[in-house]
Amino acid sequence: SYSVSHRLINLLTGISLYNKAGGKSDPEAENQIIRHVRLCASFIYNNLERDIQYNHLLKNYVALATYSAGLGYLPKKFQFLPSAIQKSLRQVVLEDGGHAERSPMYHALGILDIDILLDSGIFEIPVMKNLTKIRKKMSRALAIMSHPDGKIALFNDSWLGGFPDVEFFKTPEVCSQEILPITGYGRIGGASDVVIMDCGPCGPDDNPGHAHADFLSIEASIGKRRFIIDPGVPTYTAGE
């Protein structure tokens, strides 16, 4: 369902961007895509990843919210989404703004999920305010887990290229010494020279799937260039 959720979001986004760019109208092709999107939504709804939970289940909910945004309203079967999404975010986002699975990459994708929910226009004001509050905390945490080159540290299950650079998220300025005490990441340095340390748990005890053996490891940048690095996980997206 995680992969299908990405497919649904990307297909609807693709149609929207194509139309906004003035693409040539092709009702037959669009109807075929919409039929497949409906199939995706039905599959996700009937196969919510309640066994894995965390970022997988949240992505399922975001996909159903995207589908609802395309309809312009929240269908009766999806009325559970506002409370389910807030419950999922309480599981995924820690009090210091970090991601429970301790992956800077999934952290960035989590902020994108919140942005999609905020843009969907299908939630009441109290839910929107809570989403905005959570995003602010996550944005600050992302800045602490990032290098001066505008990209994340590659601790745990992380890689580059699957999401925008950090500047896309409009993260706030951070001090010369910052720590996320619950998440377990620390950052020392300024605009050019930085050391980032992983000193927290591998991840949730009930879902350590994105954990790597990098406890107490560090990354460092000198003169805005990465000097000591974790090679990360290079195989998720196409590269050189």
| Contact indicator for 179, 185 with CB cutoff of 8 Å | yes
Distant-in-sequence, close-in-space partners of 62: CB < 8 Å, separation ≥ 6: 5, 9, 85, 113, 116, 117
| Contact indicator for 153, 196 with CB cutoff of 8 Å | yes
**CA dist., res. 217 & res. 38, Å (int):** 45
* Assessment of whether the complete model's pTM goes beyond 0.85: yes
DSSP E strands in 32-161: the ranges are none
Which of 210, 198, 189, 192 shows the shortest CA–CA distance to 105? 210
**CA dist., res. 175 & res. 191, Å (int):** 10
**Tokens at 118, concatenated:** 């905020």
Mean pLDDT to the nearest integer, 166-177: 89
**CA dist., res. 110 & res. 75, Å (int):** 24
- State pLDDT tens for residues 208-230: 888 887 788 999 999 999 999 88
- State pLDDT tens for residues 101-131: 999 999 999 999 999 999 999 999 999 999 9
- State pLDDT tens for residues 2-42: 999 999 999 999 999 999 999 999 999 999 999 999 999 99
Q: Report the Cα–Cα distance between both ends of the chain, in Å, rounded.
A: 29
DSSP H helices in 93-162: 104-120, 125-144
Q: Is the pLDDT of residue 78 over 80?
A: yes
Which of 37, 34, 49, 38 shows the shortest CA–CA distance to 1? 49
Q: For position 186, what pLDDT does the model report?
A: 96
Question: What is the percentage of the chain residues whose pLDDT exceeds 70?
Answer: 96
Which of 97, 124, 18, 12 shows the shortest CA–CA distance to 62? 12
Q: Is the pLDDT of residue 100 over 90?
A: yes
Q: What angle do CA 216, 210, 84 make, to 5 degrees?
A: 125
Q: For position 235, what pLDDT does the model report?
A: 66
